[in-house]
Amino acid sequence: MTISGTIDRPYTHDPKKQAPMTSSLREPTGSAAPAVSSTTDADDSRQNRTREMQLIPEAMARVHMADRMREADAERRAVRLVAARRMQRRAERVSMRARRALAMAVMQ
């Protein structure tokens, strides 16, 4: 029993197990690239291209997550800076209050 695949669902994804592509009779001679005597180079390049193409979404997701992490770090630094400035102003007010209290105690 021979199982044939379709374009959407090929029988195999391994280029070495796929049937070689043949030119149609209607195609004029010399219109396509000349046939390569050795198919190993073509198979290797096709396999590498397939692997690279499969890894593109993963690489894009990695870059996207790195951008998100940088944004989150920048947001955390901004929040810490705002909190530090707020605490500094509060400490300055407490310091001024303590100075006034000391000055009032000395003047009496």
Compute the half-sphere exposure of residue 98: CA atoms within 13 Å on the CB side of its CA. 6
- For residue 87, CA distances in Å to 21, 28, 80 come to 73, 81, 10
7 pLDDT above the threshold of 60: yes
Q: Which two tokens stand for residue 30?
A: 């010399």
Q: How far apart are CA 93 and CA 97, in angstroms?
A: 6
Per DSSP, 28 falls in state P
Residue 28: the pLDDT is 58
100 pLDDT above the threshold of 70: yes
Residues 6 or more apart whose Cβ sits within 8 Å of residue 16: 43
